[in-house]
Amino acid sequence: MIIHPTENTPGTNKLSHIAFIMDGNGRWATMRGMPREYGHTIGAKVFRRVAEYCFRGGIDIVTVYAFSTENWSRPKREVDAIMNVFGSYLKMGLTDMAKDDICVRFLGEKTPFAPETRELMERLETESLGNRYKLNIAVNYGGRAEIVNAVNRLIASGAREVSEESLSSAIYTAGQPDPDLIVRCGGEVRLSNFLMWQSVYSELYFTDTLWPDLTDNEIDKAVENYYHRKRRFGKV
């Protein structure tokens, strides 16, 4: 069970936004003698369970890194398989997201997706708008691309210079607080172009556990670990 300290515990910042780098699907499948694609199918199921677990545990915003701008360079067969998993998830998601009171937002440009996929993404965003729990799915996401796109959008709207505030309002997570905690599965200790702007003061948690093996218990541990951190934000 996710445990938050009581509100009057001094020095704690409520964990309201958690982000996951869902890494390790390919290795998980390979270890089982299965094609990497199988790992992505299982990974998508785990994603659903993890998001629901976090929302039930009182976390308001969940962000997941599903597909990076660099992931397009993988073999076509794997990219196609990931897009298929994504496509079928979108169709399923359209019917049950709203009922679960989840508001979905995609982080990343939608232009490289097939027209029918884009339409589903847009419909899901529109139909779930205003729902209570915020679920951000980073697909075709790159932190650098996000910043460049945001600057270009501001320029196109007439801005001659940008500020931290204007840039924050032009990135994909506009209007949301930065992630308090970023959890990376799969053993790598890096961010791989994830939330470059938003992560400056995020607490980072790395685990060797491969994404498909992530248990509720390990999420509890990450949250507990978060609440033992001293977040100073540059102050003393």
State which of residues 21, 51, 62, 120 lies at the interface with ligand IPE (CB under 6 A). Answer: 21
* Nearer to ligand IPE among residue 90 and residue 167 (C-beta): 90
Binders of Mg ion: how many residues, by CB under 5 A?
Answer: 1
Give pairs for 111-114: CB < 8 Å, separation 24+: 112/72, 112/140, 113/83, 113/140, 114/83
Residue of 25, 71, 136, 193 marked catalytic: 71
Q: Which stretch binds ligand IPE (CB under 6 A): 15-23, 94-102, 147-155, 223-231?
A: 15-23
State which of residues 12, 192, 199, 209 lies at the interface with ligand IPE (CB under 6 A). Answer: 192
Q: Is 23 a catalytic residue?
A: yes
* Nearer to ligand IPE among residue 100 and residue 218 (C-beta): 218
Measure the CA–CA gap between 96 and 185, rounded to whole angstroms.
Answer: 27
The answer to whether residue 48 forms part of the interface with ligand IPE (CB under 6 A) is no
The answer to whether residue 39 forms part of the interface with Mg ion (CB under 5 A) is no
Record the tokens describing residue 63, joined without a space.
Answer: 């962000």
State which of residues 2, 44, 82, 97 lies at the interface with ligand IPE (CB under 6 A). Answer: 82
Q: Are 133 and 60 in contact (CB under 8 A)?
A: yes
Q: Is 180 a catalytic residue?
A: no
CA distances 106 to 31, 141, 182, Å, are 31, 9, 18
Q: Are 28 and 211 in contact (CB under 8 A)?
A: yes
Q: Which residues fall within 8 angstroms of residue 120, CB to CB, at 6 or more apart?
A: 87, 90, 91, 94
The answer to whether residue 180 forms part of the interface with Mg ion (CB under 5 A) is no
Q: Which stretch binds Mg ion (CB under 5 A): 20-28, 100-108, 157-165, 194-202?
A: 20-28
Q: Which residues are part of the catalytic machinery?
A: 23, 71
